[in-house]
Structure 1
Amino acid sequence: MSGEGNGLESAAGELVTLLIMAFALGMDAFSIGLGMGMFKLRMRQIFFIGLTVGFFHILMPIAGMAAGRFISGQFGVFANYAGGFLLIFLGIQMFISALREGDGPLLAPIGPGLLLFALSVSLDSFSVGLSLGIYGARTIVTVMCFGVAAMILTWLGLLIGRKVQGYLGVYSELLGGSVLFAFGLKLLFSI
């Protein structure tokens, strides 16, 4: 009986660890969602953006696990650089869009812009997938935790950003661009 208790405690502890890791990985999606939410987005777009980011947070760790541990060190640094440059690019494009006044963004979080956004916030999941190196049934639980947490946190960030956008008007894009730019710099200089 005590063996079952220890197994259950071990599984619960592992799940809590995965949820904490998923929350940590999803926090950049939340933060960047705050900035992207300052675009004039409809609820349907916000819903789709959250699903896309969640999907990428499932896909990227699986790709990382498939790539294996032997390239973890080298590619993990590359992923951080790529993510940082993507966020800086998106931030600059939001600045330009705000300064152009009303022409609309150069690259909005729809279509190719959505793919860039989802890729930039999920690159760290690829690195985590590389370092986890786990296989079997637990892989499913791990990537599902990552995907669900990222999706929910993205929705929260976008919805809060959307609310702030209503109060700040045109300055919201400048603020959103600043958030993305700052997170891009943070990624580049934390390496």
Structure 2
Amino acid sequence: MNLLEVLILAFALSMDAFAVSIGLGAKYRHKTIKTALLSGSYFGVFQGIMPILGLFMGYKLLIWAKEYTYWIAFIILAILGVKMIMEAFSSDSNEMKIKLTHRALIMLAIATSLDAMFAGFGIALIPLSPIIICIIIALVTFFFSFVGAVVGAKGVTFIGKKAELLGGVILIIIGFKLLMF
């Protein structure tokens, strides 16, 4: 995997946070910049940290199942991709029923970054520094979360589901690419 592919992975992983940020921006449009900075910061930090947890799980798994690592990474990415695609087609309301508190943002950040934790397993297979990869994921997620909150504040909420769909498809493609090479 090269730098471009890491950027694509970061983009795909950030789509959950982007979709949630759109909802937050729509609900708190009277605090657009604050909401954008908070969602970007929380989601970016958690998306950047969670792959490290996955990386440690990946190293343990590499030792245990070395010859199956690409298949395991493929299965994890495929499951995450299918989950994102299913969420994109779910009929859940986009209306956020939470208050913009640090506790709520932490819970949302954890929920949207679980896929990054599991995708972090594959970081062990990438010939780039894991710290650089996690920083890229964090920065890309910060950017898309910030933009998502601004877009949501402008009333453009229909993009969220499409972003999740695209992110899911990209994760599945990355999984297939791991099997090909």
TM-score interval w.r.t. the shorter chain? 0.5 to 0.7
Structure 1 spans left out of the alignment, 5+ residues: 1-12, 96-104, 166-174
> Does the Cα contact within 8 Å between 2:36 and 2:148 map onto a contact in 1?
no
Normalization by structure 2: what TM-score? 0.63
Structure 2 spans left out of the alignment, 5+ residues: 63-68, 169-181
The within-5 A match list for 1:1-191 is 14-41=2-29, 42=31, 43-68=33-58, 70=61, 76=76, 94=95, 105=97, 107-134=98-125, 138-164=129-155
Q: Bigger radius of gyration, 1 or 2?
A: 1
Partner of 2:172: none
> Does the Cα contact within 8 Å between 2:17 and 2:144 map onto a contact in 1?
yes
Q: 1:88-119 CA distances to partner (integer Å, 9 max, x unpaired)?
A: xxx66947xxxxxxxxx4x2242221112111
Superposition misfits of 4+ residues, deviation over 6 angstroms: none
Aligned partner of residue 132 in structure 1, secondary structure: helix
CA distance in 1, matches of 2:94, 2:151: 21
> Does the Cα contact within 8 Å between 1:49 and 1:109 map onto a contact in 2?
no
**Percent identical:** 22
> Does the Cα contact within 8 Å between 1:39 and 1:108 map onto a contact in 2?
no
- Count of aligned pairs: 149
Aligned partner of residue 27 in structure 2, secondary structure: coil
